[in-house]
Amino acid sequence: METVGEILLIALLAGVGGTGIGGLLGSLFRKSSNYVISLLLSATGGVMVAIVCFDLLAESVESSQSVFGAPGVLVCALMVLLGVGVVMLLNWLIDRSTAPQVEHTASEEHPEVHDAIDELVHVNHYNEHVRKGDAKRDLWMAGVVIACAIGLHNVPEGMSIGASFAIQGEGAFAAALTLAVLIGLHNIPEGMAVAVPLVAGGMGRAKAVVVTAALGLPLVLGALLGLWLGDIGPLGLACSLGFASGAMLYVVFGEILPQAILMCRSRTPAILVVVGILIGMCLIYF
């Protein structure tokens, strides 16, 4: 029970805390800087790549090989591909059902990846319903879409936090806390993207912050799932870490980094990704 309490604490810090801080900033300033958000996403994306490649995947391979021997690396690879495929499919389903309703993203000139943070979390879909003065039911459904889009990112991130308890032993709390802080930083721009249009649309600041913070709760679910799978045994740990790693890699390379580059339109995000990877490497090996 002590472990469950610890993991709930750090998962709330990363999910609710990260999006909540972003929501607070968004409600206070009512605007966001694409340049600053791009740099923050690039750096945290690089750190997440380092943690996945140098820590989570290495532990997944080791756990898998303890069960199957050398071929165990294939099990890890399959779980990575499964994680990539599941998140890609779910994102595609959401995009397919919402993008045609938004004039900007429905344009043929629009890039295949999102070029603004509000598109990544589908706040633009909500804004379109507000602009048209649609019924509350449509606004509620648009809110569900936002929650699902953010939840897709947060669940695998939470799984990586939960599984880290099973691989770190006595240092589990410190390692998972470090990962939670990094994920929380990554969640701040998402919180800002959600809060800014809510406040601009007339919602009270306090309510906007609460709604935004609540969108981080799926990360808690992912953390508990990762902890449960990691406790099953070496194979469960390998599958949990592999799936979470694949999902996180897709989020970083398929969404965050292309979006960061489009938002900044320079080589700076690429440099910050490298810096982020080096920072993550130092955090792991020091």
Count of Cβ atoms closer than 10 Å to residue 110 Cβ: 15
Count of Cβ atoms closer than 10 Å to residue 32 Cβ: 19
Report d(CA 244, CA 57) in Å as an integer. Answer: 9
Three-class SS of residue 108?
coil
Q: Is 109's pLDDT higher than 80? A: no
How is the chain split into domains, by residue range? 2-285
- At 177 the pLDDT is 76
* Nearest residue to 58 via CA among 155, 158, 168: 168
Instruction: Select the more confidently predicted residue: 269 or 126.
Output: 269
Report d(CA 113, CA 91) in Å as an integer. Answer: 11
Check if the beta carbon of residue 92 is closer than 8 Å to that of residue 199: no
- At 171 the pLDDT is 61
Q: Is 268 left (phi over 0), alpha (psi -120 to 50) or beta?
A: alpha
- At 164 the pLDDT is 76
Q: Is 57's pLDDT higher than 60? A: yes
Vertex 187 angle, CA 186 and 189, to 5°: 85
Q: Is 255's pLDDT higher than 80? A: yes
* Nearest residue to 227 via CA among 273, 167, 283: 167
Check if the beta carbon of residue 16 is closer than 8 Å to that of residue 158: no
pLDDT bucket at 31, cuts 50 / 70 / 90: low
Give 58-93 pLDDT, tens digit per residue: 888 988 888 888 888 999 999 999 999 998 998 888
